[in-house]
Amino acid sequence: MIYVHKDFAEAALEARYSDVKDVWGNQASHALWPQALELLLDSGELHNTPSFYVDNYLVNGDFVEREENQTDEEWQEYCGDTALIYDTQYACLSF
Domain extent for 86: 6-92
What pLDDT does 45 receive? 83
Tell me whether strands 90-92 and 85-86 are parallel, antiparallel or unpaired: antiparallel
What pLDDT does 5 receive? 85
Task: For 30-64, write each residue's pLDDT tens digit.
Answer: 999 999 999 999 988 888 999 999 999 999 999 99
Total domains in the chain come to 1
Mean confidence (pLDDT) of the chain: 95
Average pLDDT over residues 21-32: 97
Q: pLDDT > 70: what percent of the chain?
A: 98
38 lies in some domain: yes
What pLDDT does 23 receive? 95
Helix (H, G, I), strand (E, B) or coil at 48: coil
For residues 63 and 9, give the distance between their C-alpha atoms in angstroms, rounded to a whole number: 24
59 lies in some domain: yes
57 lies in some domain: yes
1 lies in some domain: no
